Amino acid sequence: MDTTVDVLIAGAGPTGLALGIDLARRGVRALVVERQDGLSPGARGTGLQPRTQEVYDDLGVLAAVRAAGGLYPPMATWQDGQIKETFEMVERVAPTPGTPYSNTLMVPQWRNAELLHERLAELGGSVRFGTELTGFRQDAEGVGAELTSLADGTVRTVRARYLVGADGGRSAVRRQLGTPMSGPDLEPGAALLADVRVDGLDRDHWHLFPQPGGGFVTLLPLAGTDIFQSVAALSADTPDTRHEAVRATLAAHTHLTAGQVREVLWTSVYRPRAGMAERFRDGRVFLAGDAAHIHSPAGGQGLNTSVQDAYNLGWKLGQVLRHGAPDALLDTYEAERLPVAADILETSTRLHRSRSLRRGRDLHQLTLGYRESPLTGEHRDGLAPDALRAGDRAPDAPCTTPDGAPFRLFDAFRGPHFTLLALDGAEPPRPVAEWAAHVRTYRIGGPAPDLLDAADHVRQAYGDGGLFLVRPDGYVAVAAAEPGPVSAALARHFPAAPGTARAA
């Protein structure tokens, strides 16, 4: 085990794994530790929203995730042993040039984590399983952390520049920081979660069994497997998670017999919780994912928000640790992500209380952005109300290279770099040594284009001309007609080394 690293990440769920991937591809030395002996089992959260799929595209894991997943099937409501109604719980949306991933993808969380872990290993990263963060102390230069092996009790000390607590809703990092968490009260209850193999149900529907006295049982066929995820929300009492009890519960509240529940693979109890930490940064320590915010599963927002926390924090840590950006850049993690988490917490809580069974495109997280961020610079006047603005997500658009080869803007964005789009003859700034190798510029249209927009998809998404500096996490940092604001933003992210002069 390394005794000195750039970033120590506590927790190997989707948040910690995604952050580990992003840091690994930036050449940042990160150590991921996980107190469990392996990745968490259980289907748990199954929905990957379109914006998270875009993140996975950039991180190089989307193809594998899409191959392992599928769309949610129609929901079938059962009564007296027969299907009485079918309906689309999760709205299906046609893709567009700007949003190629337009539907919520169903992937069991255990499989999601496996694929992220495999991608981390491809990039040379790893997870130290069976290792618990049992204490830490930070100072002006970094964090000293005690890591305890749960196998033999051995305690090792690791020194890190920064610590990220991605260790779940009962975060030990958050507790040691003493960071309060508060949020809305949700009505008490308990649900039995189980991954099961069953006979007697088709895999073309998401099966819903409403209960006469209230409550429900659902059985969702998990794409790419022969497993169903069962949720039984029947009372406020703690359900019995023993395998025979799970069989008995499903037999008592569906038309299935206990014998048709062939195998119980995993069980857990869910109790409604919602809340958000008062701050996401404390000195050199950050909170991400469930350690920072806990959501009702209604709407499938929690895991997606968590992965996007990691995506926001990763590039900023990379700029500070590898490119000399000021530590103050890391303050924008909280400035950007805390309001987003608050809005999503409000949405998931509203859905939880409404008990609505409909899930629409408002949950896709494609309209979330950072217009009010201190990193955002909009330098154009007279924009239409619906125009793309700095701080918004940068849309995709199909283009071609001058020799006719297809090329998407997402192909341009993919990787740990900044991307500069110069549209319709807009003149980009002259490259300087500090950032030239880390910014990819594409002239689209104009006298000497790198890309052609024959079908006007770029124009429709970005407007008529101008410069658009796209951050490594796919949001427009600067929109301007002249190169000055772009140069100024890049100078902040890639400052000149002390005592050197910036090239003209």
CB-based contacts of 261: which residues, under 8 Å, 6+ apart?
196, 197, 198, 246, 247, 250, 251
pTM (2 d.p.): 0.96
Beta strands per DSSP E along 326-438? 377-379, 398-400, 406-408, 418-423
Which of the four pLDDT bands, split at 50, 70 and 90, describes residue 459? very high
Q: Which of 3.40.640.10, 3.30.70.100, 3.50.50.60, 3.30.2290.10 would CATH assign to domain 4-69+107-184+274-363?
A: 3.50.50.60
Question: Average pLDDT, whole number, for the chain?
Answer: 95
> pLDDT tens digit string along 91-111?
999 999 999 999 999 999 999
Cβ count near 154 (within 10 Å): 10
Q: Which helix (H) or strand (E) covers residue 36, if one does? A: none
pLDDT of the residue at 425: 94
The tokens for 73 are 């099937």
> Is the model's pLDDT at 2 over the cut of 70?
no
pLDDT of the residue at 229: 98
pLDDT of the residue at 1: 64
Which of the four pLDDT bands, split at 50, 70 and 90, describes residue 352? confident
pLDDT of the residue at 503: 37
Return the half-sphere exposure (C-beta side, CA atoms, 13 A cut-off) of residue 193.
14
d(CA 55, CA 130) in angstroms, rounded, equals 28
pLDDT of the residue at 427: 96
Which of the four pLDDT bands, split at 50, 70 and 90, describes residue 128? very high
d(CA 270, CA 46) in angstroms, rounded, equals 15
CB-based contacts of 178: which residues, under 8 Å, 6+ apart?
none
Return the closest-CA partner of residue 97 out of 456, 474, 404: 456
Which of the four pLDDT bands, split at 50, 70 and 90, describes residue 497? low
d(CA 379, CA 356) in angstroms, rounded, equals 42
Average pLDDT of the residues in 377-399: 97
Residue spans of the domains in the chain: they are 4-69+107-184+274-363, 72-104+188-271, 377-493
Q: Which helix (H) or strand (E) covers residue 237, if one does? A: none
> Is the model's pLDDT at 86 over the cut of 80?
yes
Which top CATH class is 377-493? alpha beta
> Is the model's pLDDT at 499 over the cut of 50?
no
In CATH terms, is domain 72-104+188-271 a member of 3.30.9.10? yes
Return the closest-CA partner of residue 321 out of 124, 21, 26, 19: 26
Beta strands per DSSP E along 283-390? 285-287, 293-294, 377-379
Are 293 and 310 a contacting pair, CB within 8 Å? no
Are 222 and 108 a contacting pair, CB within 8 Å? yes
> Is the model's pLDDT at 321 over the cut of 70?
yes
> pLDDT tens digit string along 403-427?
999 999 999 999 999 999 999 999 9
> pLDDT tens digit string along 166-209?
999 999 999 999 999 998 888 888 899 999 999 999 999 999 99
> Is the model's pLDDT at 358 over the cut of 70?
yes
94 φψ region: left (φ > 0), alpha (ψ -120 to 50), beta (else): beta
The tokens for 3 are 């005794």
> Is the model's pLDDT at 356 over the cut of 90?
no
> Is the model's pLDDT at 498 over the cut of 70?
no
> pLDDT tens digit string along 244-298?
999 999 999 999 999 999 999 999 999 888 899 999 999 999 999 999 999 888 7
Which of the four pLDDT bands, split at 50, 70 and 90, describes residue 462? very high
